[in-house]
Amino acid sequence: MEILCLVFIGELGLAFASCQRYAMRGHATEGFLHAVIDNSTSDDIILVAGHPGIETEGLTKGFALFMRKYDRTNLFACPLAGDSEGAAAMIRYYDGRGIDAIDDKNNIQAIAIFSGQEESFEEYADWFDPSRYSRHEFAGNYVVYAKK
């Protein structure tokens, strides 16, 4: 009986830790999304960068739906890796607006970079000057750059 209790307590501890990690990720995601909202207006250009093969749901439905709820519809996709089919699908989800549709990249107000893709973004975006933006990082390596 004592061993069964110890196993149960051990399992309960693991379950609690798992729930805690899940809740913390939810708070980080909420902070990530609200950092974009808090640092932009409905007319601002918002660039969404990430790997379409890793964060498919988040890069498309999740992020875009949340932003539209707050009247942020001026969204542009920046696929950072993956196959051309995944990149094309991501751009289609943003009404066909990829990063190449932005004439003057200096007009980008906020850049939302999905989990672990910041280095890829910096390598890809030779026009990007981080000193012109405030950097906000959230658990799970989600990053928002907001124009100063």
| Model confidence band, residue 21 (pLDDT cutoffs 50, 70, 90) | very low
What percentage of the chain has pLDDT greater than the value 90? 55
- The tens digit of pLDDT for each residue in 124-140 reads 999 999 999 999 999 88
pTM of the model as a whole? 0.80
| Model confidence band, residue 93 (pLDDT cutoffs 50, 70, 90) | confident
What does pLDDT average to over the chain?
82
- The tens digit of pLDDT for each residue in 30-61 reads 899 999 999 999 999 999 999 987 776 677 67
H or E element: which one contains 72?
Answer: none
User: Tokens standing for 134?
Assistant: 């405030």
CB atoms within 10 A of CB 101: 13
More confident residue, 53 or 25: 53
Mean pLDDT of 97-102: 95
What percentage of the chain has pLDDT greater than the value 70? 78
Instruction: Indicate the pairing of strand 75-79 with strand 133-138.
Output: unpaired
| Model confidence band, residue 12 (pLDDT cutoffs 50, 70, 90) | very low
